[in-house]
Chains A and B, each alone.
Chain A
Amino acid sequence: MTKNIESLSEATVLFAGDSGDGMQLAGTQFTLATAYAMNDLATLPDFPAEIRAPAGTTYGISGFQLRFGSTDIRTPGDEVDLLVAMNPAALKVNLSRVRIGGTILVNGNAFDKRSLDLAGLESNPLEDGSLDRYRLISVELTRLTRETLVDSGLKQKDIDRSKNMFALGMSLWMYSRPLDPALDWISNKFAKNEQIRDANLKLLRKGFHFGETTEQFAVRYEISPAKMQPGTYRAIQGIHALAMGLVAAGERSGLTIFYASYPITPASDLLHALSRYKNYGVMTMQTEDEIAAIGAAIGAGFGGNIGITGTSGPGLALKTEAAGLALITELPVVIVNVMRGGPSTGLPTKTEQSDLLQAMFGRSGDSPLPVLAASTPGDCFETAYEACRIAVNYMTPVILLVDGYLANGSEPWMIPDVDSLKPFDVRFAEAADDEETFLPYSRDDKTLARRWAKPGTPGLEHRIGGLEKENETGNISYEGDNHELMTHLRAEKVERVLAEIPPLDVFGDKSGDVLVIGWGSTRGAIEAAVAQARSAGNKVGSVHLRFLNPLTSEIAEIAGRFKQLLVPELNNGQLVRILRDRFLLPFVPFNKIQGRPFRASEIVGAIEEMIV
């Protein structure tokens, strides 16, 4: 049949189903196809902590949200245009996200009495009128899948598990996405199992053609390619950009990257990614616990390498004492914290800007260290590189904060020019003829970095450790004046990192009513909100901080040009405390602590509330 073709500037799609329904896979493949179509995009995978919660229940629902368009896309979308719901529970959990008038595509076979009961629904939403305000498309996904694969020779269970491919095919058709990327992926993935491969290929195509032929789909959408800066692009997930940033640091510094980690959600993916990079010279180690991971990283740093460990909130708590050791021994170590909802085990699979205060202050004694945060999936690359560079150039542990949303989220990423990355200043100490005795704690005048004398260097044998050390000699010293001096030196060294911070870029108005200050993964939502508020006639700007420690005083200068200061955070107010303490200005917090990123509209609301 002939379809109406409608052009859109952007759309938001959400795939939702049981943990075992393959929704993350469907979402990832839709993302890939969208990257092929050269749209800008942002994603929000959202899954439960349980691996396979009982089927059909609301707490087992896994979702993958994706926004894409021909315009600049900064967030995974406030409201969903197409919800693909594989069962009643998926519909129930996600209905509130769907735009009024949006499309809901459901597996009609899944709305039986038992499934409705499991989802806690008293009546069938497909029949009770509760979906009247949406465009409902009920497709018999289970039946169509079984019919398609009737001759496949696969077991019923395997056939039913493949229906995500049918749903993916329909969705790709609906938004005029190319089919080839998913076809190629299936062919590679199941190269060794022809039966499964052919079944999936068949279902994907069948779903696509079903869209073409069924009368249920009256409209097909088109979204033209986004206007992006010239360059070579790829779709990138935050955690992979981070892993590549670490590899880049190894290549540019000439030092070995040694990554030690203990499995923890959502940081484990970094270990997975790096452990595949053996031919890039990366060493990885899965340790017996979190403490061993940072211990091994410190050992690697002592030996003249870049020691890196990664974890999530509760794991950072376990590494605290060892981070203090790296700090007082002044060894380069990078600690990556992929934040999740806390405290304690908290919300393992949900995002939160939970650990800024822990990163800043969570150690015994006066123990400052540089803290950096990445702001988009692609920015994870450069921030990870920068964290390594600062650790080495300043001989200090560095904490790098990312969160579950950034780690799992994807975007089109312009592949950086490796030669444009800032250089490392690797200077291993060597014995000098004019030196009476080696002074392991003598410092560089500019950076205050102490000398990095790696074992194996003749004539520089020395001992370091967790006890306070005498300035320059590094010998144990309990002397009061020396301790005060060393405390000041350690603090001053972190302040010297200010030399690395480029001038802040003010997004939107350079002066006006409201300045929004953010850090980490909220960048997309904040800038989208600022753009919206400005188009409504407000004078609003924003700055986004990569360096949380040290803090540039430029913040105060920029803040002085605005009447009000808003600090949105996905926590109960952490940066806002640091800013108030440092600048004594009336920063106003705006907080969301629901395990999900901001919607741009929420921040727009907060901005407008301030102006009124």
Chain B
Amino acid sequence: MADKDKRSTGGKLPPGVKTKLKAPMATLPPGAKSGGDGAPSGLTRSDFVSDQDVRWCPGCGDYAVLATVQRLMPELGIPREKIVFISGIGCSSRFPYYMNAYGMHSIHGRAPTIATGLKATRPDLDIWVVTGDGDSLSIGGNHIIHLMRRNVNLQVLLFNNQIYGLTKGQYSPTSEVGKITKSTPFGSIDHPFNPTALVLGAEASFVGRTMDRDPKHMKEMFRMAHDHAGTGFVEIYQNCNIFNDAAFFVYTEKATKKERTIFIEHGKPLVYAGETKGLRLEGFHLESVDLDTGSWSVADCVVYDETSIELASIMARVFWHEELPQPFGVFYRERRETYEEQLQQQIESVIDRDGKGTLEDLLHAGDTWTIA
């Protein structure tokens, strides 16, 4: 592109810029390589690894999520240049820097707004919003709910670690009551949010939950969220081993995972603990029953229907329940027109009705007069 050659490269300062800086900055960061050819086929995980060193704490749950997303990307068949990661502020929001795709690390809580503006004008892009519990449920709470009701076709990965990590350990809107943190030395008195119930209440069209310690499940959840036409919301239970270690171990670790979790799947009965237990409905309440005592069988258990808002609402409300297992999987899925589809349709229908307007038409619309 000849007309682009005027751009300066090689670290030279443009003429007239005053600076104290003597040496030009390095033009090539360590490990940098040129961009790919953009062909979707033949890409591998490494094609989605950026040249930046990952700066999360060793042992952080974020690493597993990153690796999972990088493994999933080549399988989706989307050209790399069409993929955009947009984040807010917080540990997880550094995510875009580590993905070799387009990305923006924006400001606290606002990633959904930027992603909405981008998707509205560029429906061809595959957009992923990466956010945390503080980012999207506190400072960005307003945006996450409106993103859900608008049903913009993108994916939201909510890294829930029930703590503020980057600001070094204050309680978050998902922290449990009584939590002792730097800002709550006598225990938090704030009742926590239940993120899945929150977004269901905000008219989300796809709601899922997964955990950082189960990469296989995570990958399937991400894939399903991606394949969903609409906002695909996935809450990830993610361990912060520095400020809130083991917050989800009761669900994620071998010793208790089997008894304390249930993986819900559309069209399948709600059974868990190696099919020795199940969930049945007693009125509107879920009840855990033993399937190996002869009193109850799989046939008594609820067959999950992810298109039922009623079931999803009941399931989402199973939240740190002492007698019921914590649900993981797709709670709800509904095909509803997306925001950008409707925006485009409206424009097309007005053009169909009134014809494509030109600037001249607009300027001369209404009453005019001419002075010779």
Interface residues of A (CB under 8 A from B): 32, 35-36, 38, 181, 228-235, 244, 247-248, 251, 256, 258, 260, 277-281, 283, 285, 287-289, 291-305, 307, 321-322, 324-325, 329, 415-416, 418, 427, 429-432, 435-439, 442-446, 448, 451, 454-467, 470-473, 475-476, 481-482, 484-485, 488-489, 492
Assembly CA distance A231 to B372 (angstroms) = 6
Q: Which residues of A contact B34 (CB under 8 A)?
A: 435-438, 459
Question: How distant is B5 from chain A, measured CB to nearest CB, in Å?
Answer: 8
Q: A35-B367, A463-B105 are in contact. Are A455 and B19 (CB under 8 A)?
A: no
Contact A482 B25 (CB under 8 A): yes
Assembly CA distance A445 to B116 (angstroms) = 33
Question: How distant is B88 from chain A, measured CB to nearest CB, in Å?
Answer: 10
Q: Which of A232, A283, A435, A482 contacts B368 (CB 8 A)?
A: A232
Contact B120 A488 (CB under 8 A): no
A interface footprint on B348-372 (CB within 8 Å = 1, 0 otherwise) = 0011011111111011101111111
B84 within 8 A of A: yes
Contact B27 A472 (CB under 8 A): yes
Q: Which of B1, B84, B125, B367 contacts A234 (CB 8 A)?
A: B367
Of all chain B residues, the one with the shortest Cβ separation from A425 is B3
Q: Which residues of A contact B110 (CB under 8 A)?
A: 291-292, 295, 322, 325
Question: How distant is B84 from chain A, measured CB to nearest CB, in Å?
Answer: 5
B143 within 8 A of A: yes
B82 within 8 A of A: yes
Of all chain B residues, the one with the shortest Cβ separation from A307 is B117
Question: How distant is B269 from chain A, measured CB to nearest CB, in Å?
Answer: 40
Of all chain B residues, the one with the shortest Cβ separation from A232 is B370
Most buried by A among B18, B79, B103: B103
Contact A233 B32 (CB under 8 A): no
Q: A472-B9, A472-B11 are in contact. Are A292 and B32 (CB under 8 A)?
A: no
Q: Which of B4, B20, B96, B121 contacts A305 (CB 8 A)?
A: B121
A interface footprint on B73-97 (CB within 8 Å = 1, 0 otherwise) = 0000001111010100100000011
Question: How distant is A377 from chain B, measured CB to nearest CB, in Å?
Answer: 14
Instruction: Find residues 1-24 in chain B having any chain A CB closer than 8 Å to their own CB.
Output: 1, 3-4, 6-9, 11, 13-21
Interface residues of B (CB under 8 A from A): 1, 3-4, 6-9, 11, 13-21, 25-29, 32-38, 50, 52, 79-82, 84, 86, 89, 96-97, 99-107, 110, 112-122, 124-125, 142-143, 145-146, 343, 346-347, 350-351, 353-360, 362-364, 366-372
Q: Which residues of A contact B26 (CB under 8 A)?
A: 473
Assembly CA distance A74 to B97 (angstroms) = 55
Assembly CA distance A280 to B32 (angstroms) = 43
Assembly CA distance A436 to B29 (angstroms) = 11
Q: Which of B347, B350, B364 contacts A415 (CB 8 A)?
A: B364
Question: How distant is A426 from chain B, measured CB to nearest CB, in Å?
Answer: 11
Interface residue SS majority, chain A: mixed
> Can you identify 9 A-B contacts, CB atoms within 8 angstroms?
A32-B367, A279-B354, A281-B347, A292-B143, A299-B115, A304-B122, A463-B97, A464-B105, A481-B21
Of all chain B residues, the one with the shortest Cβ separation from A475 is B29
Contact A471 B50 (CB under 8 A): no
Assembly CA distance A386 to B102 (angstroms) = 30
Contact A460 B81 (CB under 8 A): yes
Question: How distant is B346 from chain A, measured CB to nearest CB, in Å?
Answer: 6
Interface pairs A-B: 9 shortest CB-CB: A295-B113, A299-B117, A465-B105, A296-B117, A458-B38, A459-B35, A299-B118, A299-B114, A455-B102
Assembly CA distance A481 to B351 (angstroms) = 53
Contact A445 B35 (CB under 8 A): no
Contact B107 A482 (CB under 8 A): no
Q: Which of B19, B80, B118, B347 contacts A283 (CB 8 A)?
A: B347
Question: How distant is A88 from chain B, measured CB to nearest CB, in Å?
Answer: 36
Q: A279-B355, A291-B113, A442-B9 are in contact. Are A233 and B371 (CB under 8 A)?
A: yes
Contact B116 A296 (CB under 8 A): yes
Contact A435 B9 (CB under 8 A): yes
Contact A285 B103 (CB under 8 A): no
Q: Which residues of A contact B27 (CB under 8 A)?
A: 436-437, 439, 472-473
Most buried by A among B3, B84, B114: B114
Given contacts A292-B143, A299-B115, A302-B114, 19 further A-B contacts (CB under 8 A): A229-B371, A231-B370, A251-B358, A279-B354, A292-B116, A299-B86, A299-B121, A430-B1, A430-B4, A439-B9, A446-B6, A456-B125, A459-B35, A461-B35, A463-B104, A464-B103, A473-B28, A475-B52, A482-B25
Q: Which residues of A contact B105 (CB under 8 A)?
A: 463-467
Contact B7 A415 (CB under 8 A): no
Q: A35-B367, A244-B363 are in contact. Are A456 and B122 (CB under 8 A)?
A: yes
Question: How distant is A272 from chain B, measured CB to nearest CB, in Å?
Answer: 15
Q: Which of A302, A304, A418 contacts B363 (CB 8 A)?
A: A418
Assembly CA distance A472 to B101 (angstroms) = 18
Q: Which residues of B contact A277 (CB under 8 A)?
A: 357, 362
Assembly CA distance A432 to B21 (angstroms) = 28
Assembly CA distance A473 to B25 (angstroms) = 9
Q: Which of B15, B52, B84, B104 contacts A445 (CB 8 A)?
A: B15
Contact B9 A234 (CB under 8 A): no
Contact A234 B146 (CB under 8 A): no
Assembly CA distance A460 to B1 (angstroms) = 14
Contact A418 B343 (CB under 8 A): no
Question: How distant is A276 from chain B, measured CB to nearest CB, in Å?
Answer: 9
Question: How distant is B361 from chain A, measured CB to nearest CB, in Å?
Answer: 8
